[in-house]
Amino acid sequence: MIAKLNSKKFLFSSTLALGVLTGVGITAAPAQAAGFTQTSTLEWDNGTSNFRDDAATTFDPADVDDTFNVTFSPASITGEAAVFAASGDFAPYFNLGSVYTVNGGLGATETFIIDKASIITVGSAIEAEFTLDNDLQFIFEPVDVPGASVTATLPQFQQNGDPTKFLGELIQDGSVEFELEEGEWEFVINDPGLGADPIIEGTAASSVMEFGQDAFSTVGGNYGADGTVVVVANGVPEPASILGLLAVGGLGLGLKRKKQSKQLPV
């Protein structure tokens, strides 16, 4: 049985608007002293390819189609994502509100697979669970730090072997919405200028991934993602814990509030 999607409702648009955070400077990650715990957060968003019709078809139990494809930050809209949060170890590589290429400007493409047995009707909407066909991966190459790269991967399977899952909803008007239900981002920061070892390499303690497209858009939708990694003094990422949850309390809600405010023209 799957949980009900939360009450937030996105308005996805055929046009992308990038918000810019003002008054927030970039700060270097502090050195990790004994007993120090570092919390690092990365949040990014942008538009998607046009996927609504293909996604909507999968919600029909009688239809043979059980997959749809989405490209996040496709080349058709510059292949870039705006970064709205970059703290801790992520901070030296991103200027808040700026845009960065995703996978060399090609965007990140993923195939989503519906579990037809999970389809349920909730009021006037239809809901179902979806899994990934492959790892979903975003590679950023910050222009201000030549040779460095920041990789965010949502693996097809979680560390416990269970598949990463999204909860999808087909709304009565034809809009579709999806949000990460089970699974965590995995981050790697490589900076040859600071040595051969990754600056960060670990699983997030808190993860968000949301995307969708409204019924009136004929071009594409929007997406938003964020993850927070908690690292203790010895440099080992700390798994999801009370500490991690407290450190990022309200982060996902903040993303959703921002998305709600994106009521863009069609």
CB neighbours (10 Å) of residue 111?
A: 14
What is the largest distance, in Å, between two alpha-carbon atoms of the chain? 59
- Give the pLDDT band (50/70/90) at residue 249: very low
CA distance 236 to 51: 39
CA distance 227 to 63: 35
Predicted local confidence at residue 231, as pLDDT = 80
DSSP state, residue 113:
E
| 91-150 per-position pLDDT tens digit | 999 999 999 999 999 999 999 999 999 999 999 999 999 999 999 999 999 988 999 999
Which of 25-34, 73-82, 105-114 comes out lowest in average pLDDT?
A: 25-34
- Give the pLDDT band (50/70/90) at residue 46: very high
Predicted local confidence at residue 69, as pLDDT = 98
Position 244 pLDDT exceeds 50: no
Position 226 pLDDT exceeds 80: yes
Mean pLDDT along residues 162-183: 97
Q: E strands, the chain, where? A: 38-47, 67-72, 80-86, 99-101, 108-114, 120-122, 125-132, 136-140, 149-154, 165-170, 176-182, 186-190, 200-203, 206-213, 222-231, 237-238
Position 26 pLDDT exceeds 50: no
Predicted local confidence at residue 234, as pLDDT = 57
Position 190 pLDDT exceeds 60: yes
CA distance 141 to 148: 6
Quote the pTM value.
0.77
* Residue linked to tokens 């690092």: 40
Position 9 pLDDT exceeds 50: no
CA distance 142 to 164: 28
**Residue 104 corresponds to which tokens in the numbers above?**
């060399």
Which of 23-37, 133-147, 153-167 comes out lowest in average pLDDT?
A: 23-37
Scanning 118-241, the segments in alpha helix (DSSP H) are none
Half-sphere exposure in the Cβ direction for 251 (13 Å, CA): 28
